Amino acid sequence: MGPAHPYKGGGARHTTELAHRLSALGHEVAIESWRAQYPAALYPGRQTVDEAEGTPHPGTRHELAWYRPDGWWRTGRRLAREADTVVLTVFSPVQVPAYLAILAGVRSLDTGTQVIALCHNVLPHERRAVDVSLSRALLRRVDGVLTHSPEQAHLAEGLMGPDRPRPVTAPLPPHLPDTGGPVQGPAGERRHLLFLGIVRPYKGVDLLLRALADGAPDDVALTVAGEFWGGTDDLAALARDLGVADRVRLRDGYVPASELPALFASADAVVLPYRTATATQNVWLAHEHGVPVVATRAGTLADHVREGVDGLLCAPGDAADLARALTALYAPGEAERLRAGVRPVDPAPYWRAYADRLLKA
């Protein structure tokens, strides 16, 4: 149960790819998705795309709506009759009221259906007071929990309380958009850096602007491409204050898959200056297009970067250390040496292990 096309982004791709992988293992799989997932006020960016970013799963239904809570419990009753296992993909506590109602519907019939919470985020990076209570209420009622890192498992365990099964941990597997593959960029250094993704405070773009001012040569430019949830004004003002506004392009709006190859081809490196992280696809996405990565050691980012081979690492929340990494990137020949070390990820082993751990949850 989770987002699927026409919803966009990594959540929809992961839900769909998981269904495909489980189907390939011989399981009968359906996706319960949404015709209306969130009120617009809770998601300021565009929620859907016109073209699928991968192959949709044939067993996908779009019957759930945030404004029809009467349908949540009925869906749970139906799933109790149809399914051995229900996997709730958890991205935000906003989903929890619907999930609790669906869970109540499942439990209203004594069919033995198991319910697993697959937690992309146990708690949000930027939390409200109610988020802990909502997440605790869900995690204490499900039969199993899967998280994507030991840190997230520890967080979930604290919410679940005593005498509950321990969360299962499995690294988030690759679920990359179909971009048509890399395109050939110019030879040599591009003198250009790229940040890609939703722009929120925990992603550290403000730190990247400070590091650009202090650690990159004066002719190196930066593109920040993605949805700016708080608007561009604050970051544009910071760039002006730092004297780098003429080198910074703030490209506000979702980047469709068809535009990604050209963006990657223009960059010497993708920079991921996260203060905190759970898991992200952007290291693998950059490597899929032949581009090295400069990332912080937040969350699982460092697990996907071979430091000094296909990228560089620095401390999270530290603009000075990020500036050091950018200085190192632009040492003579270093950017091209790192580019030569990039290899695309093989998703198959990750998905085999992931499916196994999920089914054991």
CA distance linking residue 259 with residue 241, whole number of Å: 30
CA-angle at 139, arms to 152 and 46, nearest 5°: 70
Tell how strand 60-65 and strand 85-90 pair up: unpaired
Would you state the pLDDT for residue 44? 65
- Asked if residues 183 and 262 have their Cβ atoms less than 8 Å apart, the reply is yes
State the DSSP code for 74: H
Question: Model pTM?
Answer: 0.91
Give 228's strand partners.
199
- In the three-class reduction of DSSP (H, G, I as helix; E, B as strand; rest coil), residue 269 is classed as strand
Residue segments in the chain with a per-residue pLDDT below the cut of 70:
44-45
Would you state the pLDDT for residue 324? 97
Residue 50: Cβ-neighbour burial (10 angstroms; 0-12, 13-18, 19+): exposed
End-to-end CA distance of the chain: 16
CA distance linking residue 269 with residue 293, whole number of Å: 5
Element (H, E) at 234: helix 233-242
Q: Which residue has the tokens 């004066």?
A: 218
CA distances from 5 to 28, 51, 225 (A): 20, 8, 22
Would you state the pLDDT for residue 163? 82
- In the three-class reduction of DSSP (H, G, I as helix; E, B as strand; rest coil), residue 288 is classed as helix
Query: Per the omega criterion (within 30 degrees of 0), is the bond before 39 cis?
Result: no
Residue 140 amino acid letter: R
Would you state the pLDDT for residue 101? 97
Give me 146's structure tokens. 């899967």
Would you state the pLDDT for residue 63? 94
Residue 135 amino acid letter: S
Length of the chain: 361
- Asked if residues 270 and 264 have their Cβ atoms less than 8 Å apart, the reply is yes
- In the three-class reduction of DSSP (H, G, I as helix; E, B as strand; rest coil), residue 214 is classed as helix
Element (H, E) at 293: strand 293-296
Q: Which residue has the tokens 């269904």?
A: 19
Would you state the pLDDT for residue 52? 85
